Amino acid sequence: MQNTSYKTYGTLNAARDNVIVYPTWYSGQHQENEWLIGPGMALDPGKYFIVVPSALGNGLSSSPSNTPEPYNQARFPEITLYDNVTLQHRLITEVWGISKVKLVVGWSMGAQQTFQWGALYPEMVERIVPFAGSAKTSPHNFVFLEGVKAALKADAAFAEGWYEKPPTKGLRAFARVYAGWGFSQPFYRQELWRTLDFSSLEDFLVSYWEGFFLKKDANNLLAMLWTWQHADISANPVFAGDFKKALGAIKARAIVLSPEIDLYFPPEDNEWEVEYMPNAICRRMPGVWGHFAGGGVNPVDIQLIDETLKEVLAG
Protein backbone atom coordinates (compact mmCIF):
# COMPACT_ATOMS: atom_id res chain seq x y z
CA MET A 1 0.00 0.00 0.00
CA GLN A 2 1.52 3.32 -1.08
CA ASN A 3 0.98 6.39 1.08
CA THR A 4 1.15 10.05 0.09
CA SER A 5 2.56 12.57 2.53
CA TYR A 6 1.29 16.12 2.16
CA LYS A 7 1.16 19.58 3.67
CA THR A 8 -1.68 22.08 3.36
CA TYR A 9 -1.67 25.86 3.43
CA GLY A 10 -4.75 27.97 4.06
CA THR A 11 -8.31 26.86 4.82
CA LEU A 12 -10.81 24.91 2.75
CA ASN A 13 -13.90 27.07 2.31
CA ALA A 14 -17.47 25.87 2.85
CA ALA A 15 -18.07 25.35 -0.87
CA ARG A 16 -14.81 23.38 -1.14
CA ASP A 17 -13.99 25.24 -4.34
CA ASN A 18 -10.86 27.21 -3.39
CA VAL A 19 -8.48 24.28 -3.92
CA ILE A 20 -5.04 24.41 -5.52
CA VAL A 21 -2.92 21.28 -5.94
CA TYR A 22 0.85 21.87 -6.18
CA PRO A 23 2.82 18.59 -6.62
CA THR A 24 6.51 18.36 -5.75
CA TRP A 25 9.39 18.06 -8.24
CA TYR A 26 12.20 15.55 -8.69
CA SER A 27 13.64 14.84 -5.21
CA GLY A 28 11.88 17.92 -3.82
CA GLN A 29 9.80 17.89 -0.65
CA HIS A 30 6.87 20.10 0.30
CA GLN A 31 8.96 22.78 2.03
CA GLU A 32 10.90 23.28 -1.20
CA ASN A 33 7.66 24.41 -2.90
CA GLU A 34 7.04 27.17 -0.38
CA TRP A 35 8.87 29.93 -2.30
CA LEU A 36 5.76 30.26 -4.49
CA ILE A 37 3.28 30.39 -1.58
CA GLY A 38 2.58 33.44 0.55
CA PRO A 39 0.37 36.44 1.36
CA GLY A 40 -0.13 38.69 -1.64
CA MET A 41 1.16 36.04 -4.04
CA ALA A 42 -1.06 34.10 -6.45
CA LEU A 43 -0.87 31.08 -4.13
CA ASP A 44 -2.13 33.06 -1.15
CA PRO A 45 -3.11 30.89 1.85
CA GLY A 46 -5.48 33.65 2.88
CA LYS A 47 -7.58 32.93 -0.23
CA TYR A 48 -6.88 29.35 -1.22
CA PHE A 49 -6.57 25.89 0.24
CA ILE A 50 -3.26 24.75 -1.19
CA VAL A 51 -2.41 21.05 -1.06
CA VAL A 52 1.22 20.08 -1.67
CA PRO A 53 1.37 16.30 -2.07
CA SER A 54 4.82 14.73 -1.94
CA ALA A 55 5.65 12.51 -4.90
CA LEU A 56 6.22 8.83 -4.21
CA GLY A 57 9.92 8.20 -3.67
CA ASN A 58 10.78 11.62 -2.21
CA GLY A 59 11.46 10.33 1.30
CA LEU A 60 8.22 11.61 2.85
CA SER A 61 5.64 9.66 0.87
CA SER A 62 6.26 5.92 0.41
CA SER A 63 9.88 5.58 -0.69
CA PRO A 64 12.73 3.07 -0.76
CA SER A 65 14.11 4.72 2.37
CA ASN A 66 10.97 4.35 4.50
CA THR A 67 9.19 1.27 3.15
CA PRO A 68 9.48 -1.83 5.35
CA GLU A 69 10.78 -5.14 4.07
CA PRO A 70 10.38 -6.78 1.64
CA TYR A 71 9.87 -3.74 -0.64
CA ASN A 72 12.56 -1.56 0.91
CA GLN A 73 15.70 -0.17 -0.73
CA ALA A 74 16.41 -1.77 -4.13
CA ARG A 75 13.14 -3.75 -4.02
CA PHE A 76 10.93 -0.65 -4.13
CA PRO A 77 8.44 -0.93 -7.02
CA GLU A 78 8.53 1.19 -10.16
CA ILE A 79 6.26 4.23 -9.86
CA THR A 80 4.52 6.08 -12.70
CA LEU A 81 2.91 9.49 -13.09
CA TYR A 82 -0.41 7.66 -13.09
CA ASP A 83 0.40 6.08 -9.71
CA ASN A 84 1.27 9.46 -8.21
CA VAL A 85 -1.71 11.37 -9.53
CA THR A 86 -4.39 8.75 -8.88
CA LEU A 87 -3.14 8.53 -5.30
CA GLN A 88 -3.22 12.33 -4.98
CA HIS A 89 -6.75 12.31 -6.36
CA ARG A 90 -7.78 9.79 -3.72
CA LEU A 91 -6.22 12.03 -1.08
CA ILE A 92 -8.19 15.13 -1.93
CA THR A 93 -11.48 13.37 -2.68
CA GLU A 94 -11.47 10.94 0.25
CA VAL A 95 -9.95 13.17 2.94
CA TRP A 96 -11.73 16.44 2.12
CA GLY A 97 -14.55 15.49 -0.28
CA ILE A 98 -13.25 17.87 -2.92
CA SER A 99 -14.86 17.65 -6.38
CA LYS A 100 -13.40 20.77 -8.07
CA VAL A 101 -9.81 21.93 -8.27
CA LYS A 102 -9.30 25.56 -9.21
CA LEU A 103 -5.68 25.08 -10.29
CA VAL A 104 -2.97 22.46 -10.54
CA VAL A 105 0.55 23.86 -10.83
CA GLY A 106 4.04 22.40 -10.70
CA TRP A 107 7.66 22.64 -11.76
CA SER A 108 9.67 19.98 -13.60
CA MET A 109 8.42 16.55 -12.56
CA GLY A 110 5.71 18.49 -10.71
CA ALA A 111 4.76 19.94 -14.11
CA GLN A 112 4.52 16.42 -15.51
CA GLN A 113 2.12 15.53 -12.71
CA THR A 114 0.20 18.72 -13.52
CA PHE A 115 -0.33 17.59 -17.12
CA GLN A 116 -1.40 14.18 -15.81
CA TRP A 117 -3.98 15.74 -13.49
CA GLY A 118 -5.48 17.66 -16.40
CA ALA A 119 -5.68 14.60 -18.63
CA LEU A 120 -7.13 12.19 -16.06
CA TYR A 121 -9.62 14.54 -14.39
CA PRO A 122 -10.82 17.02 -17.03
CA GLU A 123 -14.18 17.64 -15.34
CA MET A 124 -12.51 18.34 -12.02
CA VAL A 125 -9.49 20.47 -12.93
CA GLU A 126 -10.36 24.00 -14.06
CA ARG A 127 -6.85 25.38 -14.73
CA ILE A 128 -3.30 24.12 -15.03
CA VAL A 129 0.04 25.90 -15.13
CA PRO A 130 2.90 23.46 -15.68
CA PHE A 131 6.26 25.20 -15.83
CA ALA A 132 9.58 23.79 -17.05
CA GLY A 133 8.20 20.32 -17.66
CA SER A 134 6.62 18.24 -20.40
CA ALA A 135 3.72 15.83 -20.69
CA LYS A 136 6.11 13.13 -21.88
CA THR A 137 9.82 12.70 -21.24
CA SER A 138 11.78 13.03 -24.47
CA PRO A 139 14.48 10.55 -25.58
CA HIS A 140 17.19 13.17 -25.02
CA ASN A 141 15.96 13.80 -21.49
CA PHE A 142 15.93 10.03 -20.91
CA VAL A 143 19.58 9.84 -21.99
CA PHE A 144 20.61 12.66 -19.63
CA LEU A 145 19.07 10.71 -16.78
CA GLU A 146 20.97 7.60 -17.81
CA GLY A 147 24.15 9.63 -17.25
CA VAL A 148 23.38 10.71 -13.70
CA LYS A 149 22.13 7.22 -12.86
CA ALA A 150 25.35 5.63 -14.11
CA ALA A 151 27.47 8.07 -12.10
CA LEU A 152 25.64 7.16 -8.90
CA LYS A 153 25.67 3.40 -9.46
CA ALA A 154 29.41 3.37 -10.27
CA ASP A 155 30.23 3.91 -6.59
CA ALA A 156 31.11 0.49 -5.14
CA ALA A 157 29.48 1.58 -1.90
CA PHE A 158 26.14 1.68 -3.72
CA ALA A 159 26.13 -2.15 -3.54
CA GLU A 160 23.33 -2.56 -6.09
CA GLY A 161 21.04 -0.55 -3.85
CA TRP A 162 21.70 -2.49 -0.65
CA TYR A 163 24.12 0.01 0.89
CA GLU A 164 24.47 0.26 4.66
CA LYS A 165 25.83 3.80 4.55
CA PRO A 166 25.30 6.51 1.90
CA PRO A 167 27.32 6.09 -1.32
CA THR A 168 28.75 9.60 -1.03
CA LYS A 169 31.18 9.32 -3.95
CA GLY A 170 28.31 8.33 -6.19
CA LEU A 171 26.08 11.11 -4.85
CA ARG A 172 28.82 13.69 -5.48
CA ALA A 173 29.32 12.36 -9.02
CA PHE A 174 25.55 12.44 -9.57
CA ALA A 175 25.53 16.09 -8.51
CA ARG A 176 28.42 17.03 -10.82
CA VAL A 177 26.74 15.53 -13.86
CA TYR A 178 23.45 17.17 -12.93
CA ALA A 179 25.13 20.59 -12.59
CA GLY A 180 25.86 20.79 -16.30
CA TRP A 181 22.19 20.48 -17.13
CA GLY A 182 20.25 22.38 -14.48
CA PHE A 183 21.46 25.78 -15.64
CA SER A 184 22.24 26.96 -19.16
CA GLN A 185 25.51 27.56 -20.98
CA PRO A 186 25.18 31.39 -20.78
CA PHE A 187 24.38 31.11 -17.06
CA TYR A 188 27.83 29.62 -16.53
CA ARG A 189 29.50 31.88 -19.08
CA GLN A 190 28.12 34.95 -17.30
CA GLU A 191 29.10 33.49 -13.89
CA LEU A 192 25.60 34.06 -12.55
CA TRP A 193 26.31 31.64 -9.73
CA ARG A 194 27.92 34.71 -8.13
CA THR A 195 24.42 36.19 -7.68
CA LEU A 196 23.69 33.18 -5.45
CA ASP A 197 26.64 34.14 -3.22
CA PHE A 198 29.14 31.50 -4.29
CA SER A 199 32.76 32.58 -4.43
CA SER A 200 33.88 30.39 -7.34
CA LEU A 201 32.60 27.84 -9.80
CA GLU A 202 34.04 25.06 -7.64
CA ASP A 203 32.31 26.50 -4.60
CA PHE A 204 29.03 26.42 -6.55
CA LEU A 205 29.56 22.80 -7.61
CA VAL A 206 30.47 21.66 -4.10
CA SER A 207 28.15 23.77 -1.94
CA TYR A 208 25.07 24.05 -4.14
CA TRP A 209 25.06 20.83 -6.12
CA GLU A 210 26.93 18.31 -4.00
CA GLY A 211 25.46 19.80 -0.86
CA PHE A 212 21.95 19.33 -2.18
CA PHE A 213 22.26 15.73 -3.32
CA LEU A 214 24.34 14.51 -0.37
CA LYS A 215 21.21 15.07 1.74
CA LYS A 216 19.20 12.68 -0.44
CA ASP A 217 18.87 8.91 -0.26
CA ALA A 218 20.37 7.22 -3.32
CA ASN A 219 17.56 4.70 -3.80
CA ASN A 220 14.99 7.47 -3.47
CA LEU A 221 16.78 9.39 -6.23
CA LEU A 222 16.76 6.34 -8.47
CA ALA A 223 13.11 5.55 -7.80
CA MET A 224 12.04 9.06 -8.77
CA LEU A 225 14.46 9.01 -11.70
CA TRP A 226 12.61 5.98 -13.08
CA THR A 227 9.34 7.89 -12.76
CA TRP A 228 10.82 10.85 -14.63
CA GLN A 229 12.36 8.72 -17.38
CA HIS A 230 9.08 6.93 -18.03
CA ALA A 231 6.81 9.95 -17.59
CA ASP A 232 4.07 9.89 -20.22
CA ILE A 233 0.55 11.08 -19.48
CA SER A 234 -0.83 8.48 -21.91
CA ALA A 235 1.00 5.48 -20.39
CA ASN A 236 -1.95 4.23 -18.36
CA PRO A 237 -5.19 2.26 -18.75
CA VAL A 238 -7.18 5.40 -19.59
CA PHE A 239 -5.28 6.36 -22.75
CA ALA A 240 -3.42 3.13 -23.58
CA GLY A 241 -0.43 4.99 -24.98
CA ASP A 242 -2.35 7.41 -27.24
CA PHE A 243 -0.42 10.57 -26.42
CA LYS A 244 -2.41 12.93 -28.64
CA LYS A 245 -5.64 11.62 -27.12
CA ALA A 246 -4.28 12.29 -23.61
CA LEU A 247 -3.30 15.86 -24.54
CA GLY A 248 -6.71 16.40 -26.13
CA ALA A 249 -8.42 15.26 -22.93
CA ILE A 250 -7.02 18.29 -21.04
CA LYS A 251 -9.99 20.67 -21.01
CA ALA A 252 -8.56 22.99 -18.36
CA ARG A 253 -7.46 26.47 -19.27
CA ALA A 254 -3.71 26.00 -19.52
CA ILE A 255 -0.72 28.29 -19.65
CA VAL A 256 2.43 26.27 -20.16
CA LEU A 257 5.57 28.17 -19.17
CA SER A 258 8.74 27.03 -20.89
CA PRO A 259 12.19 28.49 -20.10
CA GLU A 260 14.08 29.61 -23.20
CA ILE A 261 17.13 27.45 -22.51
CA ASP A 262 15.79 24.45 -20.61
CA LEU A 263 18.15 21.59 -21.41
CA TYR A 264 15.69 18.98 -20.07
CA PHE A 265 12.39 20.28 -21.41
CA PRO A 266 13.04 22.56 -24.40
CA PRO A 267 10.26 24.97 -25.45
CA GLU A 268 9.77 23.14 -28.74
CA ASP A 269 8.43 20.12 -26.86
CA ASN A 270 5.82 22.22 -25.05
CA GLU A 271 4.89 24.13 -28.19
CA TRP A 272 4.12 20.83 -29.92
CA GLU A 273 2.12 19.56 -26.95
CA VAL A 274 -0.18 22.61 -26.70
CA GLU A 275 -1.19 22.17 -30.34
CA TYR A 276 -3.20 19.16 -29.18
CA MET A 277 -4.58 20.75 -25.99
CA PRO A 278 -7.91 22.49 -26.69
CA ASN A 279 -7.56 25.40 -24.28
CA ALA A 280 -3.82 25.96 -23.93
CA ILE A 281 -1.06 28.36 -24.84
CA CYS A 282 2.69 28.05 -24.40
CA ARG A 283 4.78 31.01 -23.27
CA ARG A 284 8.53 31.08 -23.29
CA MET A 285 10.26 32.35 -20.17
CA PRO A 286 13.07 34.67 -21.29
CA GLY A 287 16.46 34.54 -19.65
CA VAL A 288 19.45 32.27 -19.16
CA TRP A 289 18.62 30.41 -15.94
CA GLY A 290 17.69 27.29 -17.87
CA HIS A 291 15.61 24.66 -16.14
CA PHE A 292 16.09 26.42 -12.82
CA ALA A 293 14.12 29.39 -14.10
CA GLY A 294 11.35 27.38 -12.45
CA GLY A 295 13.28 26.58 -9.28
CA GLY A 296 12.62 29.70 -7.24
CA VAL A 297 16.20 30.99 -7.28
CA ASN A 298 15.90 33.99 -9.60
CA PRO A 299 13.61 36.88 -8.53
CA VAL A 300 12.74 37.85 -12.11
CA ASP A 301 11.51 34.35 -12.89
CA ILE A 302 9.62 34.09 -9.61
CA GLN A 303 7.75 37.29 -10.48
CA LEU A 304 6.90 36.04 -13.97
CA ILE A 305 5.55 32.73 -12.63
CA ASP A 306 3.54 34.47 -9.92
CA GLU A 307 2.06 36.98 -12.38
CA THR A 308 1.10 34.15 -14.73
CA LEU A 309 -0.65 32.32 -11.89
CA LYS A 310 -2.54 35.49 -10.94
CA GLU A 311 -3.60 35.90 -14.57
CA VAL A 312 -4.90 32.36 -14.94
CA LEU A 313 -6.68 32.44 -11.58
CA ALA A 314 -8.41 35.70 -12.51
CA GLY A 315 -9.76 34.22 -15.76
DSSP state of 164: S
Q: Is 230 designated active site?
A: no
Q: Is 262 designated active site?
A: yes
DSSP state of 136: B
Residue among 288, 300, 297 at smallest CA distance from 183: 288
Say which of 27, 63, 108, 234 is annotated catalytic: 108
Q: Please tell me the distance from the alpha carbon of residue 152 to that of residue 303, in angstroms, as a whole number.
A: 35
Q: Please tell me the distance from the alpha carbon of residue 105 to that of residue 309, in angstroms, as a whole number.
A: 9
Residue 82 φ/ψ, nearest 5 degrees: -60, -45
Q: Is 30 designated active site?
A: no
Say which of 155, 262, 269, 301 is annotated catalytic: 262
Radius of gyration of the chain (CA): 19
Is residue 244 classed as helix, strand or coil in its secondary structure? helix
Kind and range of the H or E element at 281?
A: strand 280-285
Q: Please tell me the distance from the alpha carbon of residue 269 to that of residue 249, in angstroms, as a whole number.
A: 18
Q: Please tell me the distance from the alpha carbon of residue 224 to that of residue 158, in angstroms, as a whole number.
A: 17
Catalytic residues: 108, 262, 291
